[in-house]
Amino acid sequence: MTPQALPAFHQAQGATLADDGIPLHFGDRAREYDAALNAAVLMDRSHEGRLRLEGRDRLALPHRISTNALETLAFGECAPTLFITPNARIIDRATFCHLGETTLALTEPGRAEALLTILRRNIFFNDDMRANDETASTRQFVLYGQQASAILGALGIELAPLHVTLAEIEGNHVTIMHDKPFGGDPLQAIWRVIVPIDSAVAVWSALMTAGAPHGIQPAGSLTYYALRVRAGRPGVNAELSGEYIPLEVGLWDEVSFTKGCYTGQEIISRMDSRRRLARTLVRVTLDAPAASASPLQMNGRTVGTLTSSVETPTGERLGLAVIKLAAAQPGAQLTISEGIHATILDRAGVQPHLQEET
């Protein structure tokens, strides 16, 4: 099967494609969004990278250079982690899964080559690790929604969150990973299904067939983006950027405070020990469309930045913003430079209680 077979199949099902062949939508964004919130959707996320690590240090090497504890993962377990600069700014985020003799690393969209470079650059004398990019030879689907687990359960696949397994769907070999849910809501399950390129159309079709009694719909990246912003999940080149420290964007659960040294660990540990944070990630509603990267003001003073924004098919205008902790009060109103207002809903992600830094 050629790399163009899956995009052509999507188009035959009514999809409008982005330049990279990933569906933007399947013709009815309102139906996609409703299914995502109340049933299930299947999305092509093949632009998210997939690396295969081999060798004795396939877990030890990423463990020592990233924020989370990876070396102690048991067979079948996964953990998200962050690669940060010496001053603790975010470079990349990835999830590593222990598959026995190999480790699977799942990256953010378009970040496979960048993560591969980071890993290879940190291979030193006596390290035994080989990393290969399998993004082009595989495809990745995301099954999302309240009915996602039931759909896979009907196919005989059950997993705890942040676990991975090898399975078969209609005779096709697949790798299935149960990711942590968006926004911490266990009802909104996220399953990642990785398939060889030759099996992509067959597995997509089998998942859609299995999901039909559960109200499944195919959905595109515009729906995924709306779900991400709605749930408060940091995104690449927005909240996951060199502007921010992991603790500022609600990723405390992706940082280990006990595993020892890694690049940027001193800054992270200092922030944790002092229990002080200058900025935090919040979810907001907007009273008009607003561009990401817009400054936010309160009482005439700039207090942060709108990092992501979206208007959903139901007319909601939602956003994510990184603002000063002292301003992050539910119900507080912020002003965008164009005169548009944002109202804070709550803090996003995992946010332990901290003192406000003035």
Confidence label for 272 from pLDDT (cuts 50, 70 and 90): confident
Closest by CA position to 143, among listed 96, 181, 115, 171: 181
CA–CA dist 65, 49 (Å, integer): 19
Q: Any residues with CB less than 8 A from the CB of 299 and at least 6 apart, and which?
A: none
Which range in 8-22, 252-266, 276-290 is most confidently predicted, on average pLDDT?
8-22
- Can you list the positions of beta strands (E) in 72-129? 78-84, 90-98, 102-109
Report the largest interatomic distance among the alpha carbons of the chain, rounded to a whole angstrom.
62
Per-residue model confidence (pLDDT) at position 1: 66
Q: Any residues with CB less than 8 A from the CB of 8 and at least 6 apart, and which?
A: none
Give 255-285 as a 3 state SS string.
CCCCCCCCCCHHHHHHHHHHCEECEEEEEEE
Per-residue model confidence (pLDDT) at position 182: 82
Would the pLDDT of 10 be above 60? yes
Per-residue model confidence (pLDDT) at position 183: 73
Distances (CA, A) of 40 to 27, 200, 210, 211: 17, 19, 11, 8
Q: Catalogue all structural domains in the chain, each as residue range(s) with its CATH number.
A: 5-46+136-230 (3.30.1360.120), 49-133 (3.30.70.1400), 234-351 (2.40.30.160)
Q: Is residue 293 within 8 Å of residue 322, measured between CB atoms?
A: no
**What DSSP string runs through 153-164?**
HHTT----TTEE
Q: Is residue 253 within 8 Å of residue 81, measured between CB atoms?
A: no
Quick one: 12 exposed, middle or buried, by C-beta within 10 A (0-12, 13-18, 19+)? exposed
pLDDT tens per residue across span 196-252: 999 999 999 999 999 999 999 999 999 999 999 999 999 999 999 999 999 999 999
Mean of pLDDT values over 315-331: 96
Confidence label for 352 from pLDDT (cuts 50, 70 and 90): confident
Beta-bridged to residue 350, according to DSSP, are: 251
Per-residue model confidence (pLDDT) at position 358: 43
**What token pair was written down for 329?**
């009060």
User: Residue 91 CA to chain centroid, in angstroms?
Assistant: 14
pLDDT tens per residue across span 187-196: 778 999 999 9
Q: Any residues with CB less than 8 A from the CB of 41 and at least 6 apart, and which?
A: 32, 35, 143, 144, 145, 216, 217, 218, 219, 223
Mean of pLDDT values over 315-329: 96
CA–CA dist 205, 263 (Å, integer): 44
Per-residue model confidence (pLDDT) at position 194: 98
pLDDT tens per residue across span 104-113: 999 999 999 9
Per-residue model confidence (pLDDT) at position 341: 95
pLDDT tens per residue across span 101-147: 999 999 999 999 999 999 999 999 999 999 999 999 999 999 999 99
Would the pLDDT of 3 be above 90? no
CA–CA dist 193, 203 (Å, integer): 9
- Mean residue pLDDT across the chain: 94
- Whether the CA torsion 153, 159, 160, 164 is positive or negative: it is negative
CA–CA dist 96, 62 (Å, integer): 9
CA–CA dist 93, 237 (Å, integer): 11
Would the pLDDT of 154 be above 80? yes
Per-residue model confidence (pLDDT) at position 354: 52
Would the pLDDT of 167 be above 90? yes
Would the pLDDT of 357 be above 60? no
Per-residue model confidence (pLDDT) at position 353: 55
Helices (H), 178-244: 200-211, 221-231
pTM above 0.85, yes or no: yes
pLDDT tens per residue across span 27-70: 999 999 999 999 999 999 999 999 999 999 999 999 999 999 99
- Whether the CA torsion 299, 300, 304, 309 is positive or negative: it is positive
CA–CA dist 108, 33 (Å, integer): 22
Percent of the chain with pLDDT over 90: 89
Confidence label for 355 from pLDDT (cuts 50, 70 and 90): very low
**What token pair was written down for 297?**
């003001």
CA–CA dist 225, 222 (Å, integer): 5
Closest by CA position to 27, among listed 38, 42, 17: 17
Would the pLDDT of 334 be above 50? yes
